[in-house]
Amino acid sequence: MLRRWFWPLLLLAAVLLPGAAFSQPAPHRIVAIGDLHGDNDAWLAIAKAAGLIDAKGRWAGGTTTLVQMGDVVDRGPDSLKIIHHLQKLQHEAPRRGGKVIALLGNHEAMLMTRDYRYVHPGEYAVFADKQSEARREKVYEANKAAIEAAYRKTTPNIANVAIRDAWMRTKPLGMLEYEFAWSPQGALGKWALGNPAVARLGDTLFVHGGISSAFASLPVEEINRQVAASLAARDESPTAIVNNPQGPLWYRGLIGRGDGDAATNAPVPAGASAPLTIEQEIDLVLQKFGVKRIVVAHTPAAGIIEGVGGKLWRIDSGNSRAYNGTPSYLEIVGEKVTPHKVARPAGGAWK
């Protein structure tokens, strides 16, 4: 009886308390992988090169902890393949003493908050089924009056049939199913709600974008609680932690400042007239979280970059063919931090 209820209760706890399990002592070996953006071929090549999976895609990493840094989705067509594989490994790894932590990136948050700007058309096609056309027609008919009114705000004399055709073009088959999957009630939304935004493993802090001084005083668990609450509410406000340019999913201020991107505008601490310098802000984060280094993704670069004497590691090396960078992973064993390059799998550009 205990075994029957153990996994459902564990999964429920992961959804309700996403940050509870992600402030832990350091495992013997950590492998961190940056943004994958829908490139399943790159993911498999990196995972195999890092010794995380075998030829059949099963967990082979032993006691290794994998930290995937977020932004699995968007830009490429195969996000669902990667997510399903990560979910499989999240179940397999603990049986061998390992762990798989899938961090939330800003693109997962965008999907949860109804921002589909960067979704590859191939992502929708995967969700289409035999009922998709009828389902789309039903949604249109149920919302016909509101849809027509919205179109006529910009084109008053547009015909009803033209409105219908235009709306159908904005909703390719599979899109409605995709949107539901990323809702808090959908399968992918539930998975995302169970994943953390920040993880601390021993002396290392992992976060997709970065920790600004505005959030440096919050514990890991509180940041994760706020992120989960914001996503569950589908909060689209610009000040929500999942949309805030100084929040953990978007902040780039630990890397650079003042390039026109709001995410590089560092907060000005209370009582100060100017923000901290990059090194001062990094030192503040290290001190507040009791770590020696921060690992971030989110900002593409030509390979993995070590900064500020090893205090900051940037690991978004453009793994995805959408960026055509250098596939890579970061390995941490004790105090040794080692970047690794991986050969890009053969394959042309996506359509």
pLDDT digits (tens, 9 = 90+) for 146-201: 999 999 999 999 999 999 999 999 999 999 999 999 999 999 999 999 999 999 99
What pLDDT is stored for residue 351 in this prediction? 67
Q: How many CB atoms lie within 10 A of CB 142?
A: 10
What pLDDT is stored for residue 25 in this prediction? 82
Q: CA–CA separation, 252 vs 297, rounded Å?
A: 9
pTM, two decimal places: 0.92
Could you report the per-residue pLDDT of 11-36, keeping only the tens digit for each? 444 444 444 457 788 889 999 999 99
Q: How many CB atoms lie within 10 A of CB 340?
A: 14
Given a contact cutoff of 8 angstroms between Cβ atoms, the answer to whether 38 and 2 are in contact is no
CA angle 249, 87, 35 (to 5 degrees): 35
What pLDDT is stored for residue 1 in this prediction? 41
SS3 187: helix
The answer on pLDDT for 350 being more than 80 is: no
Find the length of the chain. 351
Burial class of residue 140 in the structure, from the number of CB atoms within 10 Å of its CB (0-12 exposed, 13-18 middle, 19+ buried): middle
Determine the straight-line distance between the first and last CA of the chain, rounded to whole angstroms.
51
Could you report the per-residue pLDDT of 324-340, keeping only the tens digit for each? 999 999 999 999 999 99
Between strands 305-307 and 99-102, the pairing is unpaired
Between strands 198-201 and 65-68, the pairing is unpaired
Q: CA–CA separation, 80 vs 191, rounded Å?
A: 12
SS3 31: strand
In the chain the domains, ranked by start, together with CATH numbers, are: 22-119+181-341 (3.60.21.10), 129-173 (no CATH)
Q: Mean pLDDT of all residues in the chain?
A: 93
Q: How many CB atoms lie within 10 A of CB 85?
A: 18
Span 77-92, mean pLDDT?
98
Q: How many CA atoms lie within 13 A of 111 on its CB side?
A: 35
